[in-house]
Structure 1
Amino acid sequence: MSESENKRDGSRWTLDRKSLELDVRRELEMPSRRLFNRRVLTLGGLTMLTGCTLKDDASVNTFLETVSRMNDRVQAWLFSGERLAPTYTEADITRPFPFNAYYGIDDVPHVDASTYRLVLSGRVTGKRVWTLDELYALPHAEQITRHICVEGWSAIGRWGGTPFGAFLARAGADTRAKYVGFKCADDYYESIDMPTALHPQTLLAFDYDGHRLPPEFGFPMKLRMPTKLGYKNPKHIMEIFVTDTFPGGYWVDQGYNWFGGS
């Protein structure tokens, strides 16, 4: 299912059952490095656990939700803040880096830098609103890492910004909270667990390849996480909130795996 083929229209749609079945079968049949190259459950075993068959239209959503929740739990259990995603050299960078969104490039939102304010809300005790100049003045870090899309392609890019964990600490975020959520200028929304937010490679990115982030890559900022699939990396961020209430996500609420580890 292509993100770029799904236009923004404010409506909810039902995932195609046959496509979902194929996705689940591919995932369950694929040896996973996160499961130490061993299959934890077979498709038939999962069917028994959910008490339904893939021929039962009324219960297929229950089956898929069970698979997704199991994946979330296993990936969260295996996730480690000490395990880093691979990094690359300048020569490895994919040029041009591909544009990808759930809308076409002509629909990329315009954000006015002069009036932009990043809002922090939820379990945060520090400053609640940040200008771009204040954000640009934060300690800077760079990474050359691989972006992996759920659609099956990947590309290597160079991202610059400020470490997200340090930013949360500076802003007075309660790191005992479970989730960090994001609201974006393109009506996208996403959330991550706190351990991922504090991972040393999670970056609040303002730059791409040595220049300010262009609109098509998420200006004024995006969250860059090489430990997550592409749809977990929100762009055009307008608000960050810290919460114990599960926030969901644009694609997650339409059936995608929430943890989304790469």
Structure 2
Amino acid sequence: MRSPFRPDNVPDAAVLDNHRPLIRSLERRGLIRGGLSLGALVMLTGCDVKRPASVQAALRAISRMNDEVQALLFDPNHLAPTYPSSMILRPPKFNAYYDVMDVKPVNGETWRLELSGLIADKRPWTVRDLQAMPQSSMVIKHICVEGWSYIGGWTGVPLRIFLERVGADLRAQYVAFKTADDYPSSIDMATALHPQTLLAIKYGGETLADPFGYPVRLRMATKLGYKNPKWITALEVTNTYPGGFWEKKGFPWFAGI
């Protein structure tokens, strides 16, 4: 699959060959947590630290490079570690910029998952529709960019199966999500098709609770926590870069772990 960070006229094999020396010398976690110092950025870009716009431009360039290299490193067949169900944290950790008491429950009876973009069957989906789909469960670690983590048990529809069912173009570059709390996000198609990417509707064997994304949230074993949107209301398959709420704040888009 072609990298979403490269022009169409550059073959993926050639890009990978050109990056092999760099790939061997980098660690994935180092790309996420590390980075260049401000002094190194000044040396690399020639930007004036008194001019915030030039510094921001340099930081964005480094972030794009990190995204590109992480995309090249991503193995769609590699599975993240899983854990015994005895280690599931109950309830899961709540994390947001607003208090848990401010969560406005979604009405499951009237909720619909709206579909758009490169999808053949765009009819809206109900909670019962999702419940009738084949389900998969996994116990994985949730890793937050802030440095904390917990082990959670998730059950839901594998996103690959859902995309196949609605006739999505699996050659497209992005899958984008809108949410009831207005924290949109998006992922690359390779991650969407990964076997540990779910439209999660249960936690710990029970229906997903309101504060944690009811009736459906995205749950991935290969991305940092902020890439897993809750209270999903719409899904789009597209070749136009959709970005996301946190990405607009300066967070990395690929955000692999």
Report TM bin, short chain: 0.7 to 0.9
| 1:234 CA displacement | 0.4
- Pick the aligned partner of 2:28 from 28, 34, 51: 34
Which residue of structure 1 lines up, in the alignment, with residue 134 of structure 2?
A: 139
Further displaced range: 215-224 or 42-51:
42-51
Query: Quick one: which amino acid aligns to residue 120 of structure 1?
Result: L
- Per-residue CA shift, 1:41-85, capped at 9, x if unaligned? 854554433332545423111121011101100110100111111
- Counterpart for residue 102 of structure 2: 107
1:126 aligns with one of 114, 118, 121: 121
Residue of structure 2 in register with 1:20 after alignment: none
Alignment check: 8 A CA contact 1:183 1:237 kept: yes
Contact 2:111 2:126 in 1 (8 A): yes
Establish whether residue 66 from structure 1 lines up as the match of residue 57 from structure 2.
no
TM-score (norm 1): 0.82
**Mapped pair 1:173 → 2:168:** yes
Which residues of structure 2 form unaligned runs of 5+?
A: 1-24
Residue in 2 aligned with 1:148? 143
Equivalent residues of 1:182, 1:191 under 8 A apart: yes
DSSP-derived class of the 1:59 partner: helix
The equivalent of 1:25 in structure 2 is: none
Per-residue CA deviations over 1:113-165 (Å, capped at 9, x if unaligned) read 11111111001002421111111000010000000001110000000001001
Structure 1 residue 36: Cα displacement: 8.9
Counterpart position of 1:187: 182
SS of the residue aligned with 1:63? Answer: helix
Shift of 1:224: 0.2
Instruction: Find the aligned partners of 1:194 and 1:46 in 2 and give their Cα distance.
Output: 31
2:204 to 200, 209, 221: 209
**Cα RMSD, aligned residues only:** 2.2
- The one-character-per-residue Cα deviations of 1:2-36 (angstroms, maximum 9, x if unpaired) are xxxxxxxxxxxxxxxxxxxxxxxxxxxxx963279
Note closer, same or farther for the CA distance 1:135–1:254 as it changes in structure 2 (3 Å cut): same
Contact 2:105–2:211 at 8 Å: present in 1 too? no
Amino acid at match of 1:135: L
Give yes or no for contact 1:50–1:66 (8 Å, CA) kept in 2: no
Measured in 1, the distance between the counterparts of 2:98 and 2:30 equals: 36
The residue correspondences of 1:55-94 to structure 2 (distance < 5 A) are 56-94=51-89
Counterpart selection for 2:226 from 223, 231, 236: 231
Give the TM-score normalised by structure 2. 0.84
Partner AA of 1:157 in structure 2: G
Amino acid across the alignment from 1:130: W
Gaps of 5+ in 1: 1-30
